[in-house]
Structure 1
């Protein structure tokens, strides 16, 4: 940290289409300035968040970091990377300690509770990439924020672990730490965005944050102030684009008409008469496509994605208990998607950009472009964490971390000009809950888990150290399989 209590940090987001990088000054008072940004095409080297070609991605990331440093005219103090992708999911765990008699609970009791899980066996295919998320403590059945000092005879904790296949985490580490020799801290954008976009009241009464990406859709669900589930559904905006190529057009043309002309809304009289002019797959000629036909493809796949989301949320929350939805991600901008969600859930659906707008418009580029929300949330989190942990020269100089940052003016590159809780539900989805459905127009590929050898059992290990809202205990491997088959998707 420099003398003016500022760090200059780089933030990386590994997406299926692009690797995004931003350079930001984060200050000890919780403010931040995003100074530069740059992107590079992933070119198929990253699929559903998992890096496949380590050498190629390392070269791309190295160039991004060098470019940011040169544009800003200063060295990079720290590097932060987001971990998100297929197989990332939460799993609720519980631990209980019987004290024997009514007495005051001590820190040693808490340590004993934590050690109870140390000798358990877990499925070696998964690792814990973040420690206990939103733990809920109960003393003699009553919720308490901090059990130490409370009198009782029984202590219980329920908490969510964030788990994933090892390669999701390992490959990012190999690129940054081994190949580029960059000391890196790892963040979980899904949980950070939930803290940024969802209010305490929303989390108390039941809500969901849905991040619509290119190849995945991440769903984070909250109730009674706690996270009750997080899943990554291996379907995103690219599935719609691929479907449209069945009309004998290129992927580029399919993406263009999806975002510019397409809609998930029900057919209208105007749509019935409309046409879209596109380039044919060979790029030599053009042709007209009925807009109604284009939107039939879009509605079919969009409806499938929304049904998968609905199936998952309905297993976590009691009927009619969802109070709202916030959507983000590049694919969230598709025309009619918010209306489709409103119709499915009968709740208010907000764009995350409209919520960020309440915080001020200084960093408007990163607020208005939903594909940058993951990066923006990481910058916000680091600035707030810096404010919360910074020790100034005098006690009077300390400031509380604000609810939202007071942001500095942003300099952009030329590229940019263009309550109490209770036990969580333990319902599980049927094995085929996330299998693709066959539409009237489209044969959607079946999403299923490939046959595997019986998993080995291992004693709990310590996994990667990730920055997270949890208090750092109970990091362990996963015992048991996923709620739905999300790990292997046939292409």
Structure 2
């Protein structure tokens, strides 16, 4: 029985992958178990579209892990990614009547105001702080600086509300508690990019099956994030359009596809075999591969904001299953004119494992390993017993709602890639609403008190009151004189 381990689950378009690992004292991670389920019938473009089948896949993943670990899984870390994730800039300004020293409370107010922004049909998953403008100076940490105007610049990361709700619903129905939800692209970036690349400026391109994710970093800050709904499967479908099954097209792609082939190296007489009876021209095959890759590369490069194009000293970093295609660096260099291109085949952390899928170093496990590295909460439940008289329905651990009973301050999660679960988000919204009502009640009482004070002053300063006070004073003086 493994008494301590962390479990991470990545919901990919081709496979749902669950990994259990133990963190060692020397900083390395030992992989204890891995489980995978085909997700082509329930996840499309990185998002859940069939809840029932996804619940079944997740349940099977956890059961497989528990069988290997001989221990119940109490909760898991989950990655959020896929279609419709995008980033949008937002500016929140606080005008100060007199010069005031910026406090952490003032910064938190800007964060709160930003997170309370609403976007049609979109959910704010996270907000990366770009910088603060203190009067006319930009600062990463404005606390302690006196100013008249404080401005917060944020990069809000959005996702479709329906996708967000479906993901949470899947784990609720599967009865699996979520220890933490993370933005998968940010967890991936933290595990494959070096500090120098993030600081100098770089573009991380994750070439997946259904999607291509683009993350732009500069000065250690995420500057842009987008998910393009095209990937390696589009190449397979293009090949399949030459009248063949997709499984045959996939085999052909893996065997013969190259991201770039010099025209002088193309043999116009060469034919590629589909099966015993059919063949296709090599040149036609090459044109299909390069045509679709050009579209993917140009769409990925188009995502880089113009203000950072000439600042990417760290270059382009490629990862994901699509980065295994021969000459992929050559193709990116041709279309982006970037000289520095690196393929991240594996995470930067030290991973110990004898599992072939983990140690293949082909970029396919980078995201789930990145999620695993984010985990810091023991996911182990009770030991699985073979005693037939024990109740199998005995509760093994807290639910997602119980794990996140107390809403965390926004300043504690903002910019770290942490995504609130739906239960946690509802509690946070309830807490915000309660505080707002308390503030409104306090403001109402102050207003009433001020109105009452003004009314009393008006009453005291009215002509009738002045006359009465004069007569009273005059009468008192007469009486005093007579005495």
TM class, shorter-length = 0.7 to 0.9
State yes or no: 1:300 paired with 2:296. no
Q: Offset at 1:221?
A: 0.6
Question: Superposition pairs for residues 24-423 of structure 1, below 5 Å?
Answer: 24-26=21-23, 30-117=27-114, 122-130=118-126, 132-272=127-267, 273-279=269-275, 285-315=276-306, 317-319=308-310, 321=312, 323-345=314-336, 346-353=338-345, 356=347, 359-360=349-350, 362-363=352-353, 365-366=357-358, 368-383=361-376
1:205-235: CA deviation from partner (whole Å, max 9, x where unpaired): 3211001111110000112332111000011
- Normalised by the length of structure 1, the TM-score is 0.71
- Residues 72-81 or 207-216, more deviating: 72-81
**Structure 1 CA distance, aligned partners of 2:417 and 2:236?**
38
Change in Cα spacing, 1:288 to 1:119, as seen in structure 2 (3 Å) is closer
**Structure 1 CA distance, aligned partners of 2:185 and 2:368?**
11
Contact 2:132 / 2:150 at 8 angstroms: preserved in 1? yes
Change in Cα spacing, 1:310 to 1:329, as seen in structure 2 (3 Å) is same
- Residues 100-109 or 63-72, more deviating: 100-109
Change in Cα spacing, 1:467 to 1:380, as seen in structure 2 (3 Å) is farther
- Normalised by the length of structure 2, the TM-score is 0.73
Q: Offset at 1:248?
A: 1.6
Change in Cα spacing, 1:117 to 1:351, as seen in structure 2 (3 Å) is closer
Q: Offset at 1:143?
A: 3.2
- Residues 12-21 or 142-151, more deviating: 142-151
Backbone CA RMSD of aligned residues: 3.1
Q: Offset at 1:323?
A: 3.8
Q: Offset at 1:244?
A: 0.3
Q: Offset at 1:84?
A: 0.5
Give secondary structure in 2 for the equivalent of 1:186: strand
**Structure 2 CA distance, aligned partners of 1:87 and 1:55?**
22
Q: Which runs of 4+ in 1 moved over 6 A?
A: 470-473
Q: Which residue of 2 aligns with 1:20?
A: 17
Give secondary structure in 2 for the equivalent of 1:86: coil
Q: Offset at 1:10?
A: 2.1
Q: Offset at 1:67?
A: 0.9
Contact 2:258 / 2:289 at 8 angstroms: preserved in 1? yes
Contact 2:13 / 2:209 at 8 angstroms: preserved in 1? yes
Change in Cα spacing, 1:181 to 1:21, as seen in structure 2 (3 Å) is closer
**Structure 2 CA distance, aligned partners of 1:278 and 1:102?**
75
Pairs aligned (count): 387
Contact 2:80 / 2:182 at 8 angstroms: preserved in 1? yes
1:342-372: CA deviation from partner (whole Å, max 9, x where unpaired): 1222221111126x3x644634853603111
Gaps of 5+ in 1: 280-284, 388-461, 478-491
Change in Cα spacing, 1:361 to 1:123, as seen in structure 2 (3 Å) is closer
Richer in helix (by share): 2
**Structure 1 CA distance, aligned partners of 2:417 and 2:364?**
26
1:70-102: CA deviation from partner (whole Å, max 9, x where unpaired): 112222232111111100111111112222333
Change in Cα spacing, 1:378 to 1:112, as seen in structure 2 (3 Å) is closer
**Structure 1 CA distance, aligned partners of 2:115 and 2:191?**
33
Change in Cα spacing, 1:117 to 1:217, as seen in structure 2 (3 Å) is closer
Q: Which residue of 2 aligns with 1:403?
A: none
Contact 2:213 / 2:226 at 8 angstroms: preserved in 1? yes
Larger radius of gyration: 2
Give secondary structure in 1 for the equivalent of 2:99: strand
Gaps of 5+ in 2: 379-408, 430-483
